[in-house]
Each structure stands twice: as C-alpha cells, then as structure tokens.
Amino acid sequence: MSEGHKLNRSQRLVHMTRILVERPGEAIPLSYFMERFDAAKSTISEDLALIKETLEAEGSGLVRTQAGAIGGVQYWPFPSSNEVQETLAELCRLLRDPGRILPGGFVYMTDIITHPMWSARIGSMLAARFHAAQPDAILTVETKGIPLALMVARALGVPMVVARREGRVTEGPSFSIHYISGSTRRINTMTVGSRALQRESRVLIVDDFMKAGATARAMVDLVTELGATVAGVGIFVTTAEPQKKQVEEYTTLLTLLDVDEEERVVKIQPAQ
C-alpha cells in the first residue's frame, strides 16, 4: 500500500483488523499504523480501542494494547468458551465415525490434523490454554505433531522447533537423546538442531496423540537437558488408559476412552 494514503475510519478498521489477525502474537507499534494510514496517534488509539472492545465483547480473541512511547498492540486468536465447546463436540462426532477404526485399535485422524482449518482451530485452542505460561518456543517431534505445533506457534507468535528421528546435515550440529518407546519397547532416538532451541527459553511441548507418554517424556527430557524450561505439555488426543502417564502434567483436548474393533465403536469425549 502506498504510504501516507489517507483512509476513512471504516477503511482503517478493516485494514487494522486484517493486519492484527494475520500477525497473531506480534507486537505491532502504533507508529506502524500512524505512518501507514497517515493518521494521528489519538486516531489510531481510538480505532484500536474500538477493535479491542468489539472483539473481546464477543470472546473473539484477545487484544492487548500497551501505552507509552513504544506503545503497541498484540492480537491472539483465542476462541470463546462457546466456540471451544462446539469445536470439540464436532471433532468428537467426526472421530466417532467407525470407518476411522484401523487394525490394532488405532483411529485414523490424519485428515483432520493436516487440514489447515482444523489444525488452526486445534492450535488456537491449545494456544489459549498455555498463553499464561508465556512459552517462547513450541517443540514437537516429526511427523504428525508438526501441523498442530505450527498452528499453536502461529497463534502465539513464537517459533516452532521440530525434533527429528535422526540427525540431518541440513540441521547443523545436533543434540540427541535416546528413549524407550511405550508401545514397541524399542530404543528410539530424538534429535534437535543445536541452533534451534535456545538455552533459557520456555518451551511448550505439543503433540497430536499420547498413550503412555514416552514420546512426550523424551521431549521433556530433551528440553531439560538443553538447559531450557518446560512451559507445558499440550496434546490433542490422549488415551484414558494407562491412567498413569510418563509425564506428570499435561493438558489434552480430547480423551480417547475406548476403541472396540469388534463392535466398531470409538468412545471419545472432550477432556474434563
């Protein structure tokens, strides 16, 4: 857009809302809007107050404005509790489809995780739960955790780090840990590029599915070994059994109670 192009109020509201929603978590200085719309600080502040009031009144995300010389504004696309309830109910309906049952009692959910509409909604829900913990990086392990972790990272405006099953030259020097997989009892490796994860950072661990929690535990150990702090563990679907997981604290959106391959029934519900 041409700089300094004068817009009326309606036009400014449309542009400012678009910019905030497209750049979640980013602190945008008021001066950016002032220059871009050739408008006084008081005008921009009024517009932002209206945007904040409008969005927050309906529970459509969170807007934070900071006053002062370096005043700025941040938007987070957190859903209202109504939206969360509706989305989780809809996800349960989809996942209960008996056609999703795979041999071994697995439930096919790749189509949901990899659809950007769903991953964005799931990511926003997880992001909302951990916003207060102030994570500054999201860690997941390849492959299925990536779409959800990226959308959590997007909603919070922080980078994502992907642990790999083996080191790659394109990741540079790396740090690895070994762990015993809960289901196969085999020794697995998890490796993360040394450049990717900063010491001192607060890391939110995200994955699509958890059973015994061996993978999540390995990520917790990886973060701790690297001198960073675990800001939380957020999982999309967690099995009810075993009750005792290898991570002590975690948040899950859905609980998978049972998959009956004979009766073709999937029992799943929003986590309590």
Binding residues (CB under 8 A) for its own copies: these are 1-2, 5, 7, 9-11, 13-15, 17-18, 21-23, 26, 50-51, 54-55, 58-61, 77, 80, 82, 102-104, 106, 108-111, 114-117, 119-120, 142-144, 146-147, 150-151, 153-154, 157-162, 164, 169-172, 193, 195-196
Whole-number minimum distance, CB 107 to its own copies, in Å? Answer: 8
| DSSP sequence for 12-31 | HHHHHHHHHHHSTT--EEHH
Closer residue to its own copies in complex, CB, 10/272: 10
Whole-number minimum distance, CB 40 to its own copies, in Å? Answer: 18
Does an H or E element contain 32, and which? helix 30-37
Whole-number minimum distance, CB 46 to its own copies, in Å? Answer: 11
Distance CA 259, CA 270 (A): 16
Closer residue to its own copies in complex, CB, 14/248: 14
Distance CA 146, CA 257 (A): 24
Whole-number minimum distance, CB 161 to its own copies, in Å? Answer: 7
Closer residue to its own copies in complex, CB, 84/109: 109
Whole-number minimum distance, CB 147 to its own copies, in Å? Answer: 5
Nearest to 148 by CA among 95, 98, 204, 193: 204
Kindly report whether the peptide bond that precedes residue 87 is cis, defined as omega within 30 degrees of 0: no
Closer residue to its own copies in complex, CB, 98/248: 98
Distance CA 25, CA 12 (A): 20
Which phi and psi (to 5°) does residue 196 adopt?
-75, -40
Closer residue to its own copies in complex, CB, 69/117: 117
Half-sphere exposure in the Cβ direction for 49 (13 Å, CA): 7
Whole-number minimum distance, CB 166 to its own copies, in Å? Answer: 11
CB of 72 closer than 8 Å to CB of 88: no
Closer residue to its own copies in complex, CB, 23/267: 23
